[in-house]
Amino acid sequence: MTRPLWAPWRLAYIGEAGSQETCVFCAEAGGELGEESLLVARGEHAFVLLNKFPYSSGHLMVATLRHVGELGELSAVEAAEIHTLTTRSLAALHRVYRPDAFNVGWNLGQVAGGSISGHLHEHVVPRWAGDTNFMPVLADVKVLPEHLAQTRLKLAAAWPS
């Protein structure tokens, strides 16, 4: 029996999906978002930001500063920095939220779940024992107990140097 899913936060995502005139990652990289910024940390070639529509508290994304859509188009320096920032993301998330595990990965292409497939980004999703499946639309609704702005401040403060 299919159970109805009550997830009102998804309406904002659905309403915005595909309607942005500019790339959200490029806007974030260029500092155009001001108070709306979800930036946690920035490197020379990549940066870390919170997912505006997270699967769990602390859901981060690591993206290149350069607008690039194919994994094979990354320079060696960009790829290395993404790896470094991903590792630092794991450390900051461990310090702040103490998750039991993580999902780390790429959605390469729109049909793979990459809603912003034109700008590469890697997801870092903290997981806890007993939480729901990675795709909450297949299970019960997740409750995110903390505002994104508070999560960003905590993770930025815990960011490893």
Who contacts 115 (Cβ-Cβ below 8 Å, separation ≥6)? 17, 18, 107
pLDDT per residue rounded down to tens, the chain (161 residues): 555 545 555 566 556 655 567 788 999 999 888 888 999 999 999 999 999 888 888 999 999 999 998 999 999 999 999 999 999 999 999 999 999 999 999 988 777 766 677 889 999 999 988 766 444 544 445 556 678 888 888 999 999 87
Stated length of the chain: 161
- In this prediction the pTM is 0.79
- Integer CA distances (angstroms), 142 to 7, 10, 79, 101, in order: 8, 12, 32, 17
The per-residue DSSP string of 70-137 comes to -GGG--HHHHHHHHHHHHHHHHHHHHHH--SEEEEEE--SGGGT-TTTTS-EEEEEEE-TT---SSGG
Which residues are catalytically annotated?
A: 121
